[in-house]
């Protein structure tokens, strides 16, 4: 059985003080959560989040990392730096990183390897933009991204990774794929992993949906056999909404 994960990506939101307010509100709402819950604040709020989450069941995640452990990379953050703050998950290759910061499939692969080598769980994001979707290239784009993201990884490492399918055309737009379409693509991702690494491995990899999952549609999406949770954006900033996504 794959344990469900609900990960909140706060993006560039919340100061340390605001993070304190949000986590303080979330903790009692998520106390009995059956899913594994992760919150991913900005780097500047990690220290505060670490203190507040001590003793709770909520795990701490980061939104990005460099593939090198140290060096002359101004403005970057490494896996050892994240681990110092008890970070256990890290988002890799989010569409906004690819779109605005020129991240490539090669850099996603390098970061995924570095995260796994450091004992972090990478949440590797894949997904098509609107042009790709309208051109009928969803399947080829997503499968190629999965193949390249996991290239060169040993099977045991692959089982520890998490894949998040985020149709880029749905992020922040309020639009969402139907549950059936989200399930179809997540099943396709699992099939690609099976092709590259074997069925036993693919059956263990957790695949999340990351295209505007919210309090209204989470229950239906989570019932799909190949959707093992969600990577949540806007709804993760609202304690009640996020708790509904987790607990519904």
pLDDT digits (tens, 9 = 90+) for 137-181: 999 999 999 999 999 999 999 999 999 999 988 776 777 789 999
Question: Helices 105-117 and 138-149 sit at what angle, rounded to 10 degrees?
Answer: 40
Does 147 qualify as catalytic in the annotation? no
pLDDT attached to residue 7: 98
pLDDT in tens, 14-57: 999 999 999 999 999 999 999 999 999 999 999 999 999 999 99
Answer whether 26's CB lies under 8 Å from 39's CB.
Answer: yes
Helix (H, G, I), strand (E, B) or coil at 66: coil
The structure's pTM equals 0.96
CATH number of 5-247: 3.20.20.70
The number of angstroms, rounded, from the C-alpha of 73 to the middle of its chain's C-alpha atoms is 24
**Closest by Cα among 148, 145, 147, 186 to 165:** 186
Beta-carbon contacts of 173 under 8 Å, excluding residues fewer than 6 positions away, are 212
Q: Where are the domains of the chain?
A: 5-247
* Helix (H/G/I), strand (E/B), else coil: 155: helix
| Distance between CA atoms of residues 152 and 104, nearest Å | 16
Q: Which residue has the tokens 């990379």?
A: 73
36 in active site: no
Catalytic pick among 85, 166, 183, 197: 166
What tokens were used for 153?
A: 């990884």
* pLDDT one-digit tens code per residue, 207-222: 999 988 899 999 999 9
Point out the catalytic residue in the list 94, 103, 128, 197: 94
- The pLDDT mean for the chain works out to 95
Residue 241 has pLDDT above 80, yes or no: yes
């Amino acid at each position: 059985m794959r344990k469900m994960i609900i990960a909140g990506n706060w993006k560039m939101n919340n100061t340390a003080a605001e993070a304190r307010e949000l986590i303080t509100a979330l903790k009692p709402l998520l106390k009995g959560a059956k899913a594994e819950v992760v919150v991913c604040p900005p780097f500047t709020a990690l220290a505060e989040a670490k203190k507040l989450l001590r003793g709770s069941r909520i795990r701490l995640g980061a939104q990005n990392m460099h593939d090198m452990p140290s060096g002359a990379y101004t403005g970057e953050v490494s896996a050892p730096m994240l681990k110092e703050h008890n970070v256990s998950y890290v988002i890799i290759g989010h569409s906004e990183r690819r779109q605005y910061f020129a991240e490539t499939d090669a850099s996603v692969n390098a970061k995924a390897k570095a995260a796994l080598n450091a004992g972090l769980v990478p949440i590797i994001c894949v997904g098509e933009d609107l042009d790709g979707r309208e051109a009928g290239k969803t399947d080829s784009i997503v499968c190629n991204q999965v193949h390249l993201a996991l290239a060169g990884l040993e099977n045991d490492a692959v089982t520890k990774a998490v894949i998040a399918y985020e149709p880029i055309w749905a992020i922040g737009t309020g639009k969402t794929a139907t549950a059936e379409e989200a399930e179809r693509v997540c099943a396709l991702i699992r099939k690609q992993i099976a092709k590259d690494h074997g069925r036993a491995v693919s059956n263990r990899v957790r695949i999340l949906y990351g295209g505007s999952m919210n309090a209204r549609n989470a229950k239906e999406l989570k019932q799909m056999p190949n959707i093992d949770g969600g990577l949540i954006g806007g709804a993760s900033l609202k304690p009640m909404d996020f708790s509904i996504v987790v607990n519904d």
